Amino acid sequence: MEIKGSIKNGIITLALKGRMDMANAADAEQAFLKYSEEGSKFVLNFTDVEFIASAGIRALLTLYRTVCDREGGIVTIINAQPQVVEVLQETDFAELFNI
């Protein structure tokens, strides 16, 4: 997966590109953990995330658990595609990511 990150005003914006499946979820998780050392407010831009499976959700949950325990920690997913929205809704995690 391609992940581009930028930090501005304490908010870490990550633009992800590719499929968040078992092949690529590890990349995402690695990036999440790295950036979680920089801050606790995350905006994940999912414009180019075409697919997510349970491995991808687990990576997101790892990020969530890491930062949301902290004061002011928040993870927001923006521009989620239909497949991602459907999967997050059916697994009841959509709210966690403010979708």
Segment near another protein (CB under 8 A), from 2-10, 28-36, 46-54, 72-80? 46-54
The verdict on 95 binding another protein (CB under 8 A) reads yes
List 53, 78, 85, 99, residue binding another protein (CB under 8 A): 53
Q: Does the footprint of another protein cover residue 51 (CB under 8 A)? A: yes
Between CA 65 and CA 4 the distance in angstroms is 21
**DSSP labels, 25-94:** HHHHHHHHHHHTTT-SEEEEEEEEEEEE-HHHHHHHHHHHHHHHTSTT-EEEEES--HHHHHHHHHTT-T
Residues near another protein (CB under 8 A)? 21-23, 51, 53-55, 57-58, 61, 68, 82-83, 87, 90-93, 95-96
